[in-house]
Amino acid sequence: MSIPLNPVAFQHPSQIQTLADAQRWINQFARPERFNTHAWHTTKKLALLVWKCHLERRPIDRTLNFLHPTFYNMIRTPEGMSLLVEHRVRKFAS
């Protein structure tokens, strides 16, 4: 099952245009308190994968369910646009 990209995100250009830009965006998010270092590293890798797929204009080929709420901020543009069709992703409930 793949998760489609948000077509509206392509209509509103972002300041993030390269994978290096995306990496800087993701790295600016601080690891949540009491969040395992390995889990945080994995969360950041998944966010970068979403950005890579967005920049390559291809859907995500894996599930992205119930990740830490910060993850969903990482996969939004700095302008606030979600990279994915949000109703297709089951989010973490705190």
Nearest to 63, CA basis, from 26, 93, 89: 89
Give the per-residue pLDDT at 64: 75
Name the pTM for this structure: 0.85
pLDDT value for 92: 47
When comparing pLDDT for 82 and 64, which is higher?
Answer: 82
Is the distance from CB of 88 to CB of 3 less than 8 angstroms? yes
Choose among 71, 6, 65, 1: nearest CA to 32: 71
Residue-wise pLDDT for 7-51, tens only, equals: 777 777 889 999 999 999 999 999 999 889 999 999 999 999 999
SS3 61: coil
pLDDT value for 93: 47
